[in-house]
Amino acid sequence: MSNFFIDHYLKHNLRNEISELYISVAIKNFAFSMIAIFEPVYLYKLYDSLSIVFFYYLVSYIIYFFAVPFGAKAAAKYGFEHCIFYSIPFAILYFLALSQLPSYGFLVVFAIIFLVFYKVLFWPSYHTDFAHYSSKGYKGRELGILSLISTVVTIIGPVIGGIILSKFGFETLFMVVSIISLISAIPLFITREKFEPHIFSYKKAFQRFLKPYNQYKRKNSIAYFGYGEEMIAAIAWPIFVFLLIEKFYLIGLLMSIVILLASISCLYVGKLSDTLEKKGRRKLFFSSTIFYALTWFLRPFAGNWLGILLVDFVSKGLRPGIYYPLLTFVYTGGGNNRGFLKYTIFYEMSLTLGKTLVIFVALILALCLDGSDFFWFVLFGFTGLWTLIFLSAYKK
């Protein structure tokens, strides 16, 4: 199996920094996969309100938008792998705060703060670390392999999370996720990080975002707004599934089956993003975006476990055709160490604004239509249309 991957997908030796990132992210993603689909359900059961759930995430993303350049300042000063390591305690504190919300409601404020600190420290450093250490000409393939490894190890995550929830409850699951998240920090320091500190300007980060120039193109910024659809996939879709099934172990099992069936596309599309000519990548991107958008219009009709399985499988199978071409460009757009970090923040600010806008619309829809079956048709239909914003990436 290893020779197959080397001969057909890598054809080069991975740098130690990328290998460490693969292992660390795989462990963390396994931990997060145990709770990811259940977190919004947990908040929904706690507050019994879609509006409150959307408001919770809206506040966190508004804060994150203005705070993310500070993550770049930290990465520029302390190093990428160090900041990824520093993010882990905040992830653990976040899960612990969530676990205690039923008893201490005021901890919701601290949960949001811990979540923002985790994201600020992790995402700029993660993207820049990959962009800096991945091999030129093989970034799409290495991204595909990273995603495949993470996907394979997270196949059993949802079903394990569902079983733990059914047997022991949310507090135990949050504790297990916290322990595994802590373990994910270990691989980051197998190799000593080679890093030269430098200064990152908070003000210039906003200048690049508000007045794009050179590689910081407005059309790309708008295309990254398309990532807003992730918020509906991560928040509203799990709640929709829960309202239909209401059994945690079955929800976890379905999600694990979906990940298993869709995992092969991670590797295949990653290789395509490297080997196809620009015109071919454009066709792959356009067709994936169009068909993926259409799956959102089908979601309200997924009235049972089989419908959920089919529509989620198709959507997850199509998603890499959108994300990999975009991320490959992100990881080549910076040009050098400092340029990678600058472009990463441009990318993060753009997608965060897109996510914020989508959550805001979802909140308005929930306030107006909550309790109505029409709500899901409107929300998922809106998300399908929003997904088409990705197409502006290839606008001339």
Query: Over the stretch 134-152, which tens digit does the pLDDT of each residue have?
Result: 655 555 566 666 666 777 7
Neighbours of 118 (CB within 10 A): 22
Share of the chain above pLDDT 70, in %: 85
**pLDDT, position 10:** 47
Cα dihedral sign for 318, 258, 156, 182?
positive
Determine the straight-line distance between the first and last CA of the chain, rounded to whole angstroms: 42
Structure-derived torsion over alpha carbons of residues 316, 321, 327, 330, reported in degrees to the nearest 10: -150
- Calpha distance 147→236 (Å, rounded): 23
**pLDDT, position 146:** 66
- Calpha distance 351→106 (Å, rounded): 29
**pLDDT, position 326:** 84
Neighbours of 130 (CB within 10 A): 24
- Calpha distance 199→206 (Å, rounded): 15
**pLDDT, position 2:** 43
- Tokens 């350049």 belong to 69
In eight-state DSSP terms, residue 197 is -
**pLDDT, position 165:** 95
DSSP conformation letters of 119-167: HHHHHHHHHHHHHHHSPTT-HHHHHHHHHHHHHHHTSSHHHHHHHHHHH
Ranges of the chain with pLDDT below 70: 1-17, 133-148, 264-279, 333-338, 396
In eight-state DSSP terms, residue 234 is I
- Calpha distance 392→361 (Å, rounded): 21
Q: What values do phi and psi take at 106, rounded to 5?
A: -65, -15
**pLDDT, position 274:** 57
Q: Can you give the pTM of this predicted structure? A: 0.90
Residue 378: both structure tokens together: 């409107």
Tell me the C-alpha to C-alpha distance, in Å, between residue 167 and each of 113, 161, 162, 173, 255: 30, 10, 9, 10, 18
**pLDDT, position 133:** 67
In eight-state DSSP terms, residue 211 is S
**pLDDT, position 44:** 97
- Calpha distance 121→73 (Å, rounded): 10
**pLDDT, position 12:** 46
We find that the CATH architecture of domain 13-189+204-394 is Up-down Bundle (1.20)
**Structural domain boundaries in the chain:** 13-189+204-394
Three-class secondary structure of residue 156 per DSSP: coil
**pLDDT, position 17:** 67
